[in-house]
Structure 1
Amino acid sequence: MELFQNFLQQTITLFAIMDPIGVSAIALSLLSPNITKSQISIIAKKTTTTILVAFFVVLITGDLVLKLFGIHEDSLKVMGGLILLLMAISMVTGSAMKSKKEEDESNKNDEELAIIPIGIPIAFGTGLFTTIIIFKNQVENSVEVFSLVISFCINALIFYLVLKNSIYIKKYLGLTGQNIITKLMGLIVGALAVQFIISGVVHLSQSYL
């Protein structure tokens, strides 16, 4: 039961941070307005492959990074929480959408944009990076690691399907609908950020006092 609860929490958390509908809106703003269904499908595959590779790299090397720099898990929780909090505020206020739209990518073709910047850092940014490392350090056995992998793969599949069909989603939801969903995801990310910060501060206080 506890394993399922953790799995559910991880899946919802990763979904909120990835915000596939919000990212798809940003992606469409960067891509050519005349992009075809087959082109957006190729871009969705490349972007999804990029975030999957990035996930496994972080999952495998995350502990090494912490040990290499002598970073305490709870310190990462606090810093990661702050990053997520800033990210949540920008999602709720809509400033993230505006700043990413303003990036000048006019000299690159659409398929080049699939990896950078759509894959990294828009879809797979610092918030997702720190959250994966935090989740990895919370697992206690291989079953829980497998659960985390499945959780991310489910979200990657959802991300792929949303990005692949982003033209239709934009048509039916419209800009207002996409903004509302992004703001709701921002509230969830913000609540998670507060939990990370409080948990990290409490554990650090106990270890130093």
Structure 2
Amino acid sequence: MPHFFDLLLQNTITMMAIVDPLGVSAIMLSLLPEGTTKETISKIAFKSTLTIIVAFFIVLISGNFLLQLFGIEIDSLKVMGGIILLLMAIKMVNGSSESKNQTKEERVETLRHDEFSIIPLGIPITFGPGIFATVVIIRNQSESFAAISAFILAYLLVALTVYLAFKNSIYIRQYLGITGSKIITRLMGLIVGAIAIQFIVAGISVLVKEYYT
């Protein structure tokens, strides 16, 4: 049981840092026009959270199959996933935002589509390549029932946090302010960067032993 809670805590922290609920909630607000009602935000929060939960279970079930289908080794994915996470971490530390390239007209147009909660907010802003690779890697490392259960529960806790962050995004922005949100995102970026380095080093070390020994 202590091992279960250790895995639960470790997986929750890892995925929480990668998803960065406060950061993506700020992106969501930046994509929405001013004057968006709380009721609309609540609906978007529910639909986007449901989207990332469905995406998680699809990747959880089919991740290994996709690796086998394309003949990709898990250690190669660790290296590539680590590079993706490292690039994400650099953007987070630098305070970059995916929404900066969108004009106000594009943001209004985005809201007109009911799919906004699914694309782009759910996928790929919240459930992007970084969390995709992380889910496949952790799933591959989770061999026991307890490890898989801890992994699933950890992600559901992250999804719940995303829902609460989206639903209360207006209050969070008022409480933390722009500076507070940036500080938290940059701290998460440091954690994501450390996770990325671990993935890259672990993957490269195995590949080097496999191909050069």
TM-score by length of 2: 0.94
Contact persistence 2:33–2:107 (CA under 8 A): no
Paired residue for 2:156? 153
Contact persistence 1:26–1:101 (CA under 8 A): no
Paired residue for 2:4? 3
The answer to whether 1:77 aligns with 2:115 is no
Paired residue for 1:62? 63
Residue-by-residue CA offset, 1:101-122 (whole Å, 9 max, x unaligned)? 3233332325432111111100
Contact persistence 2:30–2:99 (CA under 8 A): no
1:105, 1:179 → 2: CA distance? 21
Moved more, 138-147 or 79-88: 138-147
2:101, 2:64 → 1: CA distance? 35
2:115, 2:32 → 1: CA distance? 10
Paired residue for 2:130? 127
**Distance apart, 1:94 and its partner CA:** 1.4
- The CA RMSD measured in Å over matched residues stands at 1.1
Letter in 2 for 1:147: A
1:124, 1:56 → 2: CA distance? 12
Paired residue for 1:114? 117
> Where in structure 2 are there 5+ consecutive unaligned residues?
none
Q: Which of 184, 189, 195 is the aligned partner of 1:192?
A: 195
> Where in structure 1 are there 5+ consecutive unaligned residues?
none
Q: Percent identity?
A: 54
TM-score by length of 1: 0.95
Secondary structure of 2:107's counterpart equals coil
Contact persistence 1:30–1:101 (CA under 8 A): no
Contact persistence 2:51–2:118 (CA under 8 A): yes
Secondary structure of 1:33's counterpart equals coil
Q: How many residues align?
A: 207
2:8, 2:174 → 1: CA distance? 33
